[in-house]
């Protein structure tokens, strides 16, 4: 058991050394931000509306819906069945990543007069 642990820690150290070497030879700078989703695009649900109600994004983008603190429960539900958030309570968020191009309409199933579109360009 002890021998196995020594072997394992040797492997870990080796891996760390390798990682240190490869990061040392790279000049890529990684910036850490407090953004909730990198490359994401935000929709705010407020005053019984999606804002913006027409959003243009790229394939692979993640859209983050945030239900405003003053707003009751809503949903973000694709009319094509592509996504369905279920209930998004006050102050909560939902995200969906778009993997195909097209124009997609969605509604709030609780308030069907709330409509909006996401256009995904390839």
Residues at the interface with Cu ion (CB under 5 A): 74, 108, 110-111, 114
Instruction: Tell me whether residue 97 or residue 111 sits nearer to Cu ion (CB atom).
Output: 111
CA distance 82 to 103: 11
Instruction: Tell me whether residue 46 or residue 111 sits nearer to Cu ion (CB atom).
Output: 111
Tell me whether strands 54-58 and 77-78 are parallel, antiparallel or unpaired: unpaired
Q: Which residues pair with 107 in a beta bridge?
A: 77, 115
C-beta of 27: minimal distance to Cu ion in Å?
A: 48
Instruction: Tell me whether residue 82 or residue 110 sits nearer to Cu ion (CB atom).
Output: 110
CB proximity list for 35: less than 8 A, separation 6 or greater: none
Instruction: Tell me whether residue 45 or residue 55 sits nearer to Cu ion (CB atom).
Output: 45
C-beta of 98: minimal distance to Cu ion in Å?
A: 21
Burial (CB count within 10 angstroms: exposed 0-12, middle 13-18, buried 19+), residue 46 = middle
C-beta of 61: minimal distance to Cu ion in Å?
A: 23
C-beta of 111: minimal distance to Cu ion in Å?
A: 3
Residue 94 CB neighbour total at 10 angstroms: 20
């Amino acid at each position: 058991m002890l021998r196995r642990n020594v072997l394992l820690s040797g492997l870990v150290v080796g891996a760390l050394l390798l990682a240190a070497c490869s990061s040392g030879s790279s000049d890529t700078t990684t910036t850490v931000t407090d953004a909730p989703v990198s490359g994401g695009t935000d929709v705010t649900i407020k005053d019984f509306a999606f804002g913006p109600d027409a959003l243009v994004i790229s394939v692979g983008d993640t859209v983050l819906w945030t239900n405003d603190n003053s707003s009751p429960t809503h949903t973000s539900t694709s009319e094509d069945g592509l996504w369905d958030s279920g209930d998004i309570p006050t102050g909560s968020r939902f995200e969906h990543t778009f993997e195909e191009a097209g124009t997609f309409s969605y509604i709030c199933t609780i308030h069907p007069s709330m409509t909006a579109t996401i256009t995904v360009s390839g």
